[in-house]
Amino acid sequence: MIPQSAPGQLSGTQLIHGDHGPGSEVAPSISVTSTFRAVPDGDPEGVGAMNPGKHIYSRYSQNVTSRQGHAITYASGLAAAFSILVHYKPKRIAITGGYMGCHGTISTYLKGRDTPLIGLDDEFQEGDICWFESPLNPTGESRQVFKLALFGYTHYAVPECSCAAHEIHAVGGKLLIDSTFGPPPLQYPFKWGADCVFHSEPRLNVKRQSASGTEIAQWLSKAVIPEGEEYNDIPGGVITKVWHSSLQETDARGFNPSVQMEGGFNACFSILLSTREYADKLPHSLEYFVPATSLGGIESLVEQRVRIDPKENPLLVRLSIGLEEVEDLKDDLRKALVNISKGN
C-alpha cells in the first residue's frame, strides 16, 4: 500500500513507518543521551547534586505543577494508581468496569487490608473513594462525572442531572477521575469537581489524534450494515458495533459527552466483529496498525482485547489512532476487512 502524500512531501504515515523493519518493537528505540547542558560556574550543588528537583537533563524531573493542580510523574499508570490508594487510604473503594490494570492494582493494594469494594451505584459513605474512568477502556464511551450543583461548582453552565458518582462529595468522600482516554486538552476533570486526576502522557499531538480517531470511528460506524450490503467498499455483516464517545447521543438525564469532552473526543475506541475468526485475523491483517497492547504513542495500534483481558468479549477489537494520514488508515482498514471477509 502506498501512503498518500502531496508530491515532494513526506506524509505522516511515511514519517512514522518509513523505518519500520523486522523485530518486535513498535518503534525503533531512542537511546539515553550522554550529552548534558553545562551549568554556570559557582553552582554550589554541582549539576544539582543529583537532587531530583534540580536535574537539568530530564523534563520529567522538573516542576510540572500547573493551573490545573499539582502534578507528579510516575513510570507507569499502575504505579500512579497504587500511589493514589496509598495516599488516600480509602475506607472503601467504589468502582465499576474500566481498565483491568487498575482492578489488578486495587486487588494488590487490598491484600491484607479490610477495605471493601462497592459499585458506583451503591450508597457512599464518609471515607470512600470513587474510582471513575471516563472515557471508558476499552470501548471509549464517556460517562458523566457527576452532578455539579451538589458541590458548589455552579459557575459552570451545565445541565443539572444525576450520574454514577453524584453523592461522593456530599458524604465527604473523594473523587478520582481516570482520564487516560481523555487527557488535556480533550477534557478537564478538575473543572467538574475531581479531587485527583490521572492520565498517560504518550501522545505527542492529542488534538490531531483526537480528530483522526473521531473521523475513523464515525466512518466505521456507517459500515455496521447487513451482510450483502457495502459501505465505502467495506462489506456488511463484518462489523456489528462501534463504540466511541462521539457516537453517543444525549441520554435520558441530558448528558452529552461533547459537554465534558470539550476539546475533542478520544483517539482510542473499539469495534465488535461478527465472528471470532474475523476478530482473530484483523489485528494481523493490517499494515499500518501495529498489533500491540498499549494506548500507543504516535503509531496506530490494534489488539484483540481478549488476548490481554480474558474477561473481555473475544469479538472486540480495540483501535488506537496515531499520527498517520487518515486516508491511509482508512485504506488499511478497508483492505483488511475485505480480506478477512473473504477468508484470507
What pLDDT was estimated at residue 43?
56
Name the residue with cell 480517531: 213
160 exposure class (CB count in 10 Å sphere: 0-12, 13-18, 19+): exposed
Better-predicted residue by pLDDT, 153 or 37: 37
The span from the CA of 255 to the CA of 183, in Å, is 20
Query: How high is the pLDDT of residue 270?
Result: 97
Per-domain boundaries in the chain: 59-198, 206-341
What is the per-residue pLDDT for 199?
81
Q: What is the model's pLDDT at position 57?
A: 40
178-193 residue pLDDT tens: 999 998 889 988 888 8
- Per the prediction, the chain carries an average pLDDT of 82
**Has residue 52 got a pLDDT over 80?**
no
According to CATH, the topology of domain 206-341 is Aspartate Aminotransferase, domain 1 (3.90.1150)
pLDDT in tens, 82-131: 999 999 999 999 999 999 999 999 999 999 999 999 998 899 999 999 99
Model confidence at 70, pLDDT cuts 50, 70, 90, reads: confident
- For residue 138, CA distances in Å to 166, 267, 331, 332 come to 24, 11, 23, 21
Percent of the chain with pLDDT strictly greater than 70: 74
**HEC sequence for 185-227:** CCCCHHHHCCCEEECCCCCCCHHHHHHHHHHHHHHHHCCCCCC
Residue 6 pLDDT > 70: no
Rounded to an integer, the average pLDDT of 1-6 is 61
Grid coordinates representing 122 are 451503591
Whether the pLDDT of residue 234 is over 90: the answer is yes
Tell me: the pLDDT tens digits for 262-292?
999 999 999 999 999 999 999 999 999 999 8
Residue 166 DSSP one-character state? T
Q: Give the per-residue pLDDT at 25.
A: 64
Reported as type and span, the H/E element at residue 239 is: strand 239-243
- The predicted structure's pLDDT at residue 156: 35
Fold assignment, 59-198: Aspartate Aminotransferase; domain 2 (3.40.640)
**Closest among 126, 132, 106 to 117, alpha carbons compared:** 106
pLDDT above 50: residue 149: no
**pLDDT category of residue 24 using cuts at 50, 70 and 90:** low
Cell readout for 197 is: 486526576
- Please, are residues 318 and 305 in contact by the beta-carbon 8 Å criterion? yes
pTM: 0.81
* Whether the predicted pLDDT of 296 surpasses 60: no
Per-residue confidence at 174, pLDDT binned at 50, 70, 90? Answer: very high
pLDDT band at 4 (very low <50, low <70, confident <90, very high): low
Q: Has residue 146 got a pLDDT over 70?
A: no
**Kind plus residue range of the DSSP H or E element containing 80:** helix 77-88
Q: How far does CA 291 lie from the centroid of its chain?
A: 17
Say what the pLDDT of residue 252 is: 83
Query: What's residue 181's pLDDT?
Result: 92
Same fold, 59-198 and 206-341: no
Average pLDDT score over residue span 39-57: 50
Write down the pLDDT at residue 231.
Answer: 98
User: Residue 99's pLDDT is what?
Assistant: 92
The larger pLDDT score, comparing residue 322 to residue 146, is at: 322
